Chain A
Amino acid sequence: MATIYIDNKPYEVKAGKNLLEACLSLGLDLPYFCYHPAMGSIGACRQCAVKVYRDENDTKGKLFMSCMEQVRDNMRVSIADMEAREFRAHVIGWLMTNHPHDCAVCDEGGSCHLQDMTVMTGHNYRAYRFDKRTYINQYLGPFLNHEMNRCIQCYRCVRYYKDYAGGKDLDVFAAHNHLYFGRAEDGVLESEFSGNLAEVCPTGVFTDKTLKQHYTRKWDLTMAPSVCHHCSVGCNTIAGERYGTLRNITNRYNGEVNGYFLCDRGRFGYEFVNSAARVRKPLVRSQLPEASDKYTALKAASSAIKAGRVIGIGSPRASLESNYVLKKLVGEDNFHHGVSDVDHDLVEMALHILKEGSARTPSLQEVEKADSVFILGEDLTNTAPMLALAVRQSVRQQPLLEQVSKANIPVWQDAAVRELVQTEKGPLFIAHYTTSKLDELATQTYFDTPDAIARLGFAVANFIHPDSPEVHGLTEEELGLAQQIANALLAAHNPLVISGTSSGNERILKAAANIANALAAREKSAVISLVVPECNSMGLAMLGGHKLESAFEAVLNGYADTVIILENDLYRRASAATVTEFLDSCKQILVLDHLHHATTEKANILLPAAPFSEADGTLVNNEGRAQRFFQVYPTPEEIQESWHWLAELGTIMADEQISNWQGYDDLVKSMAEEIPALRGVKKNAPSSDFRVAGQRIPRAPHRFSGRTAMHAGFNVSEPKPPTDPDSPLSYTMEGYRGQPPSSMIPFFWAPGWNSVQATNKYQQEVGGHLKGGDPGVRLIEPAGTAAYSLAVPQKFVPLGGHLYMLPLHHIFGSEELSNQSPPIMGRIPAPYVAINTADAIRMKLDEGDLLSFSIEGQAYQLPVKTSHTIPSGTAGLPNGLPGVPFAELPAWAILNRDIKWKQQPQTTF
């Protein structure tokens, strides 16, 4: 700690910080542009000037850029000094000489850092009367809009895009006062994290193009804290609504999870909520017209359930609550997981590893701090994008710890640090069967079959601790690599092992667990992060339930005849033939979902389930962190959460426990009491009767406009504002004006800070945890009871006339819901099958030629993409891509030609 005097008042601040950080953490208003808590300072904008005095006798002082000055004990500073203030106003004045007269038509307006800072410095009138510089904009793809005239040359965009996120195709061009921030030519921005530019850029140069389609000012949005539903990482988001449609997704800072950023799937995948394919009315297919109201549907559903022998199929993309109520309704024995059997086993195993192993699972924040990483069988950029971004930061850890601290440079001195570190990177090893965007950072990559990856993993574990089983028959090269990885992990302070379910191989998971446990046995503070398929896969596993296969058997054997399918398209979970046979054998099919798909087509009764933005619920992410998401806007009574529908059915059926629930809180309480693993869920967010000073937390900012006109076109008598029985949030602007508890922040705003930079005011210290602790409750802590797995696999042997089909994942295309968002649709690759280049030559196939094969009776004919890394005798099939029918992968694909594979030597690059 250090004491500094700001305008003659003493303050205690953390030593080692820069002055700007310190001032902002103290809650003082000091304008700035180029500094960003996640990226440090470079002193480019000259906006953050303060006076620094030599000692108490110095009355003149000197102007310093506060973001470039380290705090020292007894430092004397002035923010209010006249000269400093004038300097800051002038800097804005200069930045504004070329700024267009655009605020009225600028999408940033109302949440613009430049507007805020201009007001803060008091630069009111334009004094410059000469011509303004102009630029031609670029087309940057379906996600971002470009308006270069508004740029103030702060360099945040390129620092974020290139330095932080590793993008290659955004840069600064030209020179002196002609700087141009964009691509070398028009085209789609390649980075999977490009959307963050809209928040990183303090002006309206980069703005959200999807928001532009239905533009709404930030002050006009009704917002609620939400959690991304598009992968297992569970990033925190803010979802905004106006006039009954969802308008945008922005980042919700969580110091433990996503920090300041989101991936593009999470940011732009929301539009499925507004899709024409939404189920908006209950359908009862035994009557005409099919569309009915809530009560008819409930009656039909309850009599169907009463008449039949019922089983339930849960879903990894539905909330814990919905799955739990379904399980209650149908009974423990009749509750099945709506996931493929491979996924079921793998997630179960992942949960087992996290629960019984000796290494804990890290938050993304901890991943960034890891100084040695080994990734087994995951293409993170496509399966858990934000985890990939965190790994990108982790390779900087070792140089930061070693060189930078030795050179006595503070870590926030970004330019100096990058200059010193150059391309130096900490150890990162990747073993996979396909290339990934992180390969460029890797110390070593190893491309081979899943079994070979597992063998390498087991070998590493064995080198770390001899109790882990030995692997026989490895090549010299592989042994050398295993030794190298083991050494790197052992040498690190915070070694990290990453694996997951996406390659469909349980032995890889076991190998990863062995490595983590071996490290723990050597008394290393090792952590293990396992990627699971969907946003609530982990929660579903913790809830427990049977396999999908047994659901099929139950109906086909006549044990059950009625099925309730929760938020699930079974055609994405099992082969089409099996699902059709199953559904055709059911007497009654009850489906709850948001979008129409192949399974809802077969439903006898279809109930419109609320998607994430219209629902309350809890998800458990891959870290085992339970996170609450809140309903953003009220819906018509026919659209409600699945748990709501099911609880109402339970009440009609006079289920003893369900009919006693008075609301959401009782449901959560009952779940937490019944399932010990989920006990923490109760503490996730305050209960619905929570009030601050007797008031609810408003979802709308106090400047929210149009309340007495928005419904007037329909009826001039204003309806009573809707109330929310499930949470302490109100749907209007009325309520408590101060900062709510961290788990319920509907938007970031502070007086004078309308942009997202207001996040500063909600943090304990800038870039740190939120006041009151970051939201979410960790449910899993390792017990340390697991023994080493002995299941070392044999070497993979190719099969003549067959290809071993491995799953490939795409950030845009592999996830069901985001696939229905038009901006994402524009980025989904065409269906293909990836095969080894040498195999392609042997089969006389060129890139783009059609390859026919069948998996478990399902025929495929797909254009070939050749790959150097897919091992010979195997092939890659994109998972979940539109136009690629489901197959449970990995699996043997039968080729309709006779081909012998040559055993390939392993390739190490």
Chain B
Amino acid sequence: MFSLLRSMWLTFLHAFHKRETILYPEEKPILPIRWRGRIVLTRDPDGGERCVACNLCAAACPVDCIALQATEDETGRRYPDFFRINFSRCIFCGYCEDACPTYAIQLIPDFEMGEYNRQHLVYEKKDLLINSEGKYPGYNYYKVAGMAIGGKGKGEAENEAPPVDIKSLIP
């Protein structure tokens, strides 16, 4: 009997609490930075496309809604020729972000993606690529990798010795 009354009292008290619901869309919610919303492709500190088209995000995706094709520029830098996410399938699990070795693909705190036409939920690279480094500033995959690309020759990456002189026998 007592517990019943106590519950009613507690419920009654809630009428005077600060409200958790907000008047969306007039009022916008404040979402934490790690919120898993709309997916973007970011750029490296030099403004280059971060994505190297390694396909790991696509492989990690449990609903297989990422499709891309790798290509290379004339200096050997690899990037996606097309990059497509079908958001009508995406479950915003964030596995792609976890899998990405370059911090290219990131989920951001934006969920306002509603569409009347399902076809409009298919995002191509031009819809995904943003002009920012996103949540992980500073990282530049090609500065760490051993591949030579335009503007970075062999031995010029971080922690790399200059190329071996194969004609030398000196240890």
Which A residues lie at the B interface, using CB under 8 A? 100-105, 109-110, 129-137, 147, 149-150, 173-176, 178, 180, 212, 214-217, 219-220, 243, 703-710, 712-713, 715-717
Find out whether the CB atom of B163 lies under 8 angstroms from the CB atom of A135: yes
Find out whether the CB atom of A104 lies under 8 angstroms from the CB atom of B52: yes
Whether A716 touches B67, Cβ cut-off 8 Å, given contacts A132-B159, A134-B154, A709-B89, is no
Whether A100 touches B89, Cβ cut-off 8 Å, given contacts A132-B159, A134-B160, is no
Find out whether the CB atom of A102 lies under 8 angstroms from the CB atom of B88: no
Find out whether the CB atom of A136 lies under 8 angstroms from the CB atom of B163: yes
Once bound together, how far apart are the Cα atoms of A134 and B166, in whole Å?
11
A-B contact pairs, 15 of them (CB 8 A): A132-B160, A133-B161, A134-B146, A134-B162, A134-B163, A134-B164, A135-B154, A178-B164, A178-B166, A180-B166, A217-B55, A703-B59, A705-B58, A706-B64, A706-B66
Find out whether the CB atom of A715 lies under 8 angstroms from the CB atom of B66: no
Interface of A is mostly: loop
Known contacts A136-B163, A216-B69; can you find 20 more A-B pairs with CB under 8 A?
A: A101-B146, A103-B101, A104-B141, A131-B159, A133-B164, A134-B161, A135-B164, A136-B154, A174-B167, A215-B71, A219-B59, A705-B55, A708-B63, A709-B67, A709-B84, A709-B85, A709-B86, A709-B89, A712-B84, A712-B86
> What is the CB-to-nearest-CB distance from A719 to chain B, in angstroms, rounded to a whole number?
14
B168 is an interface residue with CB less than 8 A from chain A: yes
Chain B residue numbers with a CB within 8 Å of A217 are 55, 59
Chain B residue numbers with a CB within 8 Å of A220 are 55, 58-59
The tally of residues in B whose CB lies under 8 Å from a CB in A reads: 53
B108 is an interface residue with CB less than 8 A from chain A: no
Q: Which of B61, B85, B141, B145 has the largest count of A CB atoms less than 10 A from its CB?
A: B145
Find out whether the CB atom of B166 lies under 8 angstroms from the CB atom of A130: no
Chain A residue numbers with a CB within 8 Å of B119 are 715-716
Chain B residue numbers with a CB within 8 Å of A105 are 52, 54, 78, 145, 147
Find out whether the CB atom of A708 lies under 8 angstroms from the CB atom of B147: no
Find out whether the CB atom of A147 lies under 8 angstroms from the CB atom of B64: no
> What is the CB-to-nearest-CB distance from B150 to chain A, in angstroms, rounded to a whole number?
14
Once bound together, how far apart are the Cα atoms of A116 and B167, in whole Å?
33
User: Residue on B with the closest CB to A214?
Assistant: B69
Once bound together, how far apart are the Cα atoms of A103 and B53, in whole Å?
11
Find out whether the CB atom of B144 lies under 8 angstroms from the CB atom of A101: yes
B31 is an interface residue with CB less than 8 A from chain A: no
B72 is an interface residue with CB less than 8 A from chain A: yes
Chain A residue numbers with a CB within 8 Å of B110 are none
Chain B residue numbers with a CB within 8 Å of A130 are 159
Once bound together, how far apart are the Cα atoms of A180 and B154, in whole Å?
15
Find out whether the CB atom of B67 lies under 8 angstroms from the CB atom of A706: yes
User: Residue on B with the closest CB to A715?
Assistant: B119
Once bound together, how far apart are the Cα atoms of A704 and B68, in whole Å?
12
Find out whether the CB atom of A176 lies under 8 angstroms from the CB atom of B171: yes
Pick from A102, A176, A219, A704: contact of B146, CB below 8 A.
Answer: A102
Once bound together, how far apart are the Cα atoms of A651 and B52, in whole Å?
52
Report B36-72 CB contacts with A as 1/0, cut-off 8 Å. 0000000000000000111110110101111111111
Find out whether the CB atom of B86 lies under 8 angstroms from the CB atom of A708: yes
Report B111-130 CB contacts with A as 1/0, cut-off 8 Å. 00000001101101000000
> What is the CB-to-nearest-CB distance from B50 to chain A, in angstroms, rounded to a whole number?
11
Find out whether the CB atom of B122 lies under 8 angstroms from the CB atom of A716: yes
Whether A215 touches B70, Cβ cut-off 8 Å, given contacts A134-B161, A713-B124, is yes
Chain A residue numbers with a CB within 8 Å of B85 are 709
Find out whether the CB atom of A132 lies under 8 angstroms from the CB atom of B146: yes
B4 is an interface residue with CB less than 8 A from chain A: no
> What is the CB-to-nearest-CB distance from B38 to chain A, in angstroms, rounded to a whole number?
16
B1 is an interface residue with CB less than 8 A from chain A: no
Once bound together, how far apart are the Cα atoms of A818 and B10, in whole Å?
82
User: Residue on A with the closest CB to B121?
Assistant: A716
Chain B residue numbers with a CB within 8 Å of A102 are 145-147
> What is the CB-to-nearest-CB distance from A200 to chain B, in angstroms, rounded to a whole number?
21
Find out whether the CB atom of A132 lies under 8 angstroms from the CB atom of B154: no
Once bound together, how far apart are the Cα atoms of A759 and B141, in whole Å?
34
Once bound together, how far apart are the Cα atoms of A692 and B148, in whole Å?
48
Whether A174 touches B169, Cβ cut-off 8 Å, given contacts A706-B66, A709-B84, A712-B122, is yes
> What is the CB-to-nearest-CB distance from B152 to chain A, in angstroms, rounded to a whole number?
11
User: Residue on A with the closest CB to B64?
Assistant: A707
Find out whether the CB atom of B145 lies under 8 angstroms from the CB atom of A104: yes
Find out whether the CB atom of B58 lies under 8 angstroms from the CB atom of A706: yes
B106 is an interface residue with CB less than 8 A from chain A: no
8 Å CB interface, B133-166 against A: 141, 144-148, 154-155, 157, 159-166
Once bound together, how far apart are the Cα atoms of A173 and B166, in whole Å?
7
Once bound together, how far apart are the Cα atoms of A134 and B55, in whole Å?
26
Find out whether the CB atom of B58 lies under 8 angstroms from the CB atom of A131: no
Once bound together, how far apart are the Cα atoms of A600 and B165, in whole Å?
55
Chain A residue numbers with a CB within 8 Å of B163 are 134-136
Pick from B67, B78, B161: contact of A710, CB below 8 A.
Answer: B67
User: Residue on A with the closest CB to B124?
Assistant: A713
Once bound together, how far apart are the Cα atoms of A854 and B119, in whole Å?
64
Once bound together, how far apart are the Cα atoms of A215 and B80, in whole Å?
10
User: Residue on A with the closest CB to B102?
Assistant: A104
Chain B residue numbers with a CB within 8 Å of A214 are 69
Whether A149 touches B154, Cβ cut-off 8 Å, given contacts A103-B101, A705-B58, A708-B65, is yes
